[in-house]
Each structure stands twice: as C-alpha cells, then as structure tokens.
Amino acid sequence: MSVFRLFKISVLPVFLAVFGAAPLAAANPFEPGWILESEGSALRFTSVKKGSVVETSTFATYTGLIDPNGAAEIKVLLDSVDTGIDLRNVRMRFLFFETFKFPEATIRLQLDPALIEDLQTVRRKIVTLPYQMTIKGVTVDKEADVAVTLLSDDLVSVTSSAPITITLEDFKLNEGREKLEEAAGVTIVPSASVTFDFLFSRLPTVPDATTTVSSRAAVPEPIQVALETSGNFSREECAGRFEILSRTGNIYFASGSARLRSESVAVLDSIADIISRCPGLVVEISGHTDSDGSEAANRALSERRAQSVLSYFTNKDVPAERMVSVGYGEAEPIFPNTTAENKQRNRRIEFQLIK
C-alpha cells in the first residue's frame, strides 16, 4: 500500500547529495547553496498487497537544501502522502505514519565535492551516496545509487538509477503495516520500491553564514497540505475517518484510571479538528476494556474513560451536544483476551456516527 511511500524518502537524500555536487564551475561546487525544485520533480513508490496487486503512490510536499559546506537535508511531509484515494490517505497518516506525532521524515547527508568534480566534463554519472533517514524517531544508515545529470551550471537532474528497495522492519514499521492490514482487510508485503526524478537549482544569492540547512528547509504545517477536502467533510468522509481513528491505539490512560496521559494529546487534538469539520453530526465516544477484573468494574471504568475523552473535546470547544459517551466494558472485545498484547488492544476508545 502507500505504506511504502515513506521509502521514497530514502531516495531524496540521494538526490540532494548528488545535485549539490553537480554544478562545478566554482571552486566549491556547493556555494552558495542549492534548493530542491518541487515543480518538475517526481517521487514515486510502489507497494504490493493481496500478493500481486501493485499500487503506486507519492508525497505531495517535500523540501530540500544543500548548504555551502555540502551538508544536505531533505524533509518529507508525511501528511501529504497521496495514494489517490482519500480514506487510504487517512489510513496512511493515522495508522501507519502516525503523523499527529511524527509529521515529517528527514534525510541527511554530508556531500563530498570529489564525487562530482568531473561532472562538468562527463555531464552525467552514477554515484553511490550514503545517507541517514529518520522516520517515526528511528534513524537508519543507508546508501543508494543515483544518476546525476548536469543540465546547466545552475540546474542538475538527479534520478534513481534503479528502483530502491526498502523494508519496513528497518524502521520498525511492521506494527503500522498490521494496522493497515486490519483496517483494509488485505495483506501487505513488508517492503517497497522507490523511484525518483528530481531537479535542483543553485540559489541566486549567498546565504547568511549562520543559516543552516535545518533552519532553511522548512516544511509546511500538516493542516496546510494534507490531501483532503478543505472545510467540512461529507457524512461518508466523517464516518470513514472515525472508523480509522478508532484503530489508532494512541489514546492512553493511567493504569486503572480515567485520567488521560499526555501522550494522547496529539491524536485527540486531530480528532477534535475532525469532529468540528463534521457539523450536524453526532459522534458516539465508546470506551472498552479487557476482561481482567469484574464485569461491573470494567463497565464503570470504560464509562469514565469515554466521558474523560468527551470532556477533553468540550474543553477544545467542541459542542457537548455533538457527542455522547458510552462505556461497554469487556462486552465487545476485538481480540481474544488471551495475551497481554490482545488485552492491550481491547482497552480502547472508539468513535462512530449515530446521527
């Protein structure tokens, strides 16, 4: 599934690296710096589901810079993942990437001028670039072969010389893949291939010496670039989002308590925004527990936890009449309460439209 788009990210660094090295008329090929041109560039990734169904996806928003010292950084806005289908994008954002906690993927590398010192003469060459890629807080060292073509002194093309394969296990992303499989009812191959075609242009002026790639490669806020309906959602869009949000597993409470833990804030704020964009609809917030303890105690705890979530939303200015809270206790498990992992997944908050 689009899941594998994140793999493209690994490609980006490569591009930067290359591109930064391209124009070589100057003694320092990286001066005064280079910028990734999103217009005219493309980043694609393919994944396989159901054993043989191949899907190609992309990201809409990514930025990149190479500073005069050859330090390169690329940022990919994960909220801009584009599978071509709205709810599939939502699954990728909330279940796989967890963009409410990890909004971007980052690729960093240090470029060596010697890699492209002959580019002015040969015009095109394939180089191997080492880089670091960070996704959801996990950093992995990788390398990739890329084709670098000098189009002019101020413009370089960097493309994948062959599809780049990335595995989810490298970034500990299999839990997200499993959530996608459950939500979509399909099996997903835990790897993907990435291809890219990027353009980099030389910056027109010398940047301030104190400016770093990190401070200049700013990524837009997720709310500005998420590929979805602007303004209010339709009933169908709302229902689909609440079904997906019920599967995140990112609403946490203190043990045996209805007190929300701070780690829940990011996803709750995202949900509050979605409820506010579903006007005229009433959302049921339901609490569920595992089977440990008495049935009566579990029902009471689930009711308190659902009410705690409702109270959080009202404090975020979501009208109370737009929501109801219900506690089901242990009555509706989604997995057998036979293992610690299953019990944890049964302890959950779900959302659904009732009007």
The owner of tokens 């308590």 is: 257
pLDDT score, position 323:
97
Q: How far apart are CA 55 and CA 91, in angstroms?
A: 15
Q: Give the DSSP per-residue string, 300-317.
A: HHHHHHHHHHHHHHHHTT
- Relative to beta strand 53-59, strand 34-49 is antiparallel
pLDDT score, position 270:
94
Mean pLDDT, contiguous 10-residue spans, the chain (355 residues): 40 42 54 86 89 93 85 89 95 95 89 84 91 92 89 88 90 93 95 87 68 50 67 95 95 94 95 94 97 96 98 96 96 95 94 91
Q: How far apart are CA 195 and CA 161, in angstroms?
A: 8
Backbone angles phi, psi at 221, to 5 degrees: -65, 140
Q: Which conformational region is residue 187 in: left (phi greater than 0), alpha (psi within -120 to 50 degrees), or beta?
A: beta
Q: Where are the alpha helices (DSSP H) in 75-197?
A: 86-91, 119-122, 174-184
- Domains along the sequence of the chain with CATH: 2-225 (2.40.128.110), 235-353 (3.30.1330.60)
